[in-house]
Chain A
Amino acid sequence: MDSRVIVITSGKGGVGKTTTTANLSVGLAKAGFRVVAIDADIGLRNLDLIMGLENRVVYNFIDIIEGNCRLQQALVRDKRVENLFLLPAAQTRTKDAVSPEQMVTLCEELRKEFDFVLIDCPAGIEGGFRNAVIGADEALVVTTPEVSAVRDADRIIGMLESMNKSPIRLIINRVRPNMVKEGEMLDVDDVLDVLAVKLIGVIPDDDSVIKSANSGEPLTFGSKSPASQAFSNIASRLVGVDVPLMDLNANEQSGFFAGLKKIFRI
């Protein structure tokens, strides 16, 4: 299989890029793919925490670029599942520490070793964005259903299009059941109407996400929570498995899924 480099990005910060990167990385590794997750959020190291690997970080990707260590030395292997690695960010550097050319070279090196290279992008469009995106083929854009987040996602999609990333697919995160269409909240159809890109999944707002972040154990390791299932579905769709729609009627009594009926129609 050809190696795929996918950047996980967003317009607005704090919408779930790191959470998504961690969960998809675990999901894909569990499905047997060789996966490396890169934390490209220089200065705000975070992915290692969410993945529960912070104690094992020795080198980071600037060290590789500067020749302080070899690629293999900087990769942190996840012991819970085979074939999952993390390439941590440097915490102490400025975003200019890496040039776009160096980033491209790094991605090319990783391509040789892995089926999937997932890049956790920093928020916004300042310096770090371009570096994070430049080596990627594809993009996943994460947004919440808020008007302002969607507008910012639109801008990012415009940039990704102009950089010829393809496909560009959308993840709508923190969708709430019984989400009344009022004020600043949009429903899934509204979001798609504005952004006009392919949807790859919808993730419910779910406390299990926060618990898993605190414990450093991504949900896709085995949680049965709705968000976990949503992330697993996205991982499957990434590899072309046509995940059937959730059987909403069977879960009618749960109330939660009843609320999601409209949302998961797609």
Chain B
Amino acid sequence: MSSDLPINEKISLKGSANKLKVIIPENMPEGTMWKELDHTALDASNLFTGVDLVIHLGGRVISRGFLLRFLKDFVISHDIRLSSWEANDESSREAILSMGLNLSRKDIKQSRRSARRSETLVIHSSLRSGQRIEHDGDVLIIGHVNDGAEVIAEGNVSVMGKLKGLVHAGYNSEEDRAIIAASFETKQVRLGTKVSTLSEEADFWGRYVIVSPEKGSLLFKELKI
């Protein structure tokens, strides 16, 4: 499995500049996959609007029939703009090209160190329960992160509204990152490899809070600007 597959076996979304990558775990059974695609599209279609999607198939071996169904059931029925495909399997790549579809130019493999981090992903709405975004840079949410919503970012995460869902900043990153929430109301946050659980009794609950790493644990500070 290539390294950019998600840790959990679910379809996940990863944003970069003006593209959004839909990562389909290569071992997910096809029946499950169609269902999950439908759910993903319903859950996340506000994130899909105005963005070009890249479909990441990993090593999955697919046919022209698969592509046809994909276009009909996912791309057309959810009114999606598709930019390109990523496939590791040679016959899958052949099938994609033979139908006049694009492959991503992903040969430009960035070594993690030298690559410039992606731009900030700005979300102009609240994330509702079940909505999940992943991004390899910073994420700015101009809205709330509701209970049941998730944000996973390699960079920093700022929430301009209430943070009630799950945020994981500094995911997969060795650098220090921070989480900022205008109203901190969540029982768990993750920063890098650290997890912290909190209770409503915490004196910064509901306040403007910054969470940052400090001597191997997480420091919660009320932000007073």
Contacts and interface: CB of A to CB of B under 8 A. Distances in A.
A196 B147 CA distance: 13
B34 to A, nearest CB: 11
Interface stretch (B51-59, B96-104, B124-132): B124-132
Interface stretch (A76-84, A157-165, A256-264): A157-165
A194 interface: yes
Interface in B186-217: none
Interface residues of A, number: 16
B129 A151 contact: yes
Contact of B42 (A100, A130, A151, A154): A130
B129 A155 contact: yes
A147 B185 CA distance: 14
B46 A155 contact: no
Contacts of B45: 162-163
A158 B38 contact: no
Interface string A125-162: 10000100000000000000001000110110111011
B42 A152 contact: no
B interface, size bucket: 10 to 19
B119 interface: no
B43 interface: yes
B221 interface: no
Question: Interface SS of chain B: helix, strand, loop or mixed?
Answer: loop
Residue among B38, B43, B129 with the highest chain A CB neighbour number at 10 A: B129
> Interface SS of chain A: helix, strand, loop or mixed?
helix
B81 interface: no
A2 B128 CA distance: 32
Given A154-B147, A154-B148, A155-B130, A130 B46 contact: no
A161 B126 CA distance: 12
B69 interface: no
B126 A196 contact: yes
Given A130-B38, A151-B129, A152-B129, A158 B43 contact: yes
B39 interface: yes
Contact of A158 (B46, B77, B164): B46
Nearest to B148: A151
B81 to A, nearest CB: 15
Interface of B: 38-39, 42-46, 77, 126, 128-131, 144, 146-148, 164
Interface of A: 100, 125, 130, 147, 151-152, 154-155, 157-159, 161-163, 194, 196
